[in-house]
Amino acid sequence: MLPLILASSSVYRRELLNRLQLPFTCSSPDIDESHRPGESAVDLVKRLAEQKARALAGTHTAHLIVGSDQVAVLGEKIIGKPHTFEKAREQLLTASGNSVTFLTGLALLNSQTGECQVDCVPFTVHMRTLDANSIERYLRAEQPYDCAGSFKAEGLGVCLFRSTEGPDATSLIGLPLIRLIDMLLIEGIQIP
């Protein structure tokens, strides 16, 4: 089995990949994550996931490299990580009573063969109608400023949801394990 490496510094992705009980290491790729003019959200996350994996291929020449990237989309607008309380409050007020779709790009690169599997896994969160007080209480309790959409689905953020829909709940957290397992099986990795 080729060594597995996660092209990410995300603690959330690392925790998810740990669920598969496979040995892996992490390395953070240095890429430009800018959105190109006219590029769809799906194309953006697929391109960035693959670029993250390929960025490590030069120094990890016989590895399976996992790249992932995620954006949240509300209506036609891509919403990113808020980084501040004020921006998080604004995002949640806008999302209140609406649906937010998370698009997670996933790439598995075999750096020995150059073969790269790339996909995008969508997951939609239907938000409750939220008032300013409940939003502020949530933000002060969980401080999800490094999370697209301004909530942590694996934590208290679930209280903001009316319902969810999608093929893989782990994609909401940033690494779609069901699809990744499909890709690993193609590479001959047996799980469990």
Instruction: For residue 57, give the nearest of 67, 68, 43 by alpha carbon.
Output: 67
Active site residue 119: no
Helix, strand, coil: what percent of the chain each, to 5? 35, 25, 40
Specify the long-range contacts of residues 57-60, CB closer than 8 Å, at least 24 apart. 57/109, 57/111, 59/27, 60/3, 60/5, 60/27, 60/111
Which one from 30, 32, 43, 69 is the annotated catalytic residue? 69
Task: Write down the H helix ranges in 58-186.
Answer: 85-95, 132-142, 170-173, 177-186
The residue written with tokens 């992490």 in the block is 26
Taking the alpha carbons at both ends of the chain, their separation in whole angstroms is 14
- Angle between helix 11-18 and 177-186 (nearest 10): 60
Longest Cα separation, the chain: 54
- For the annotated catalytic residues, the residue numbers are 69
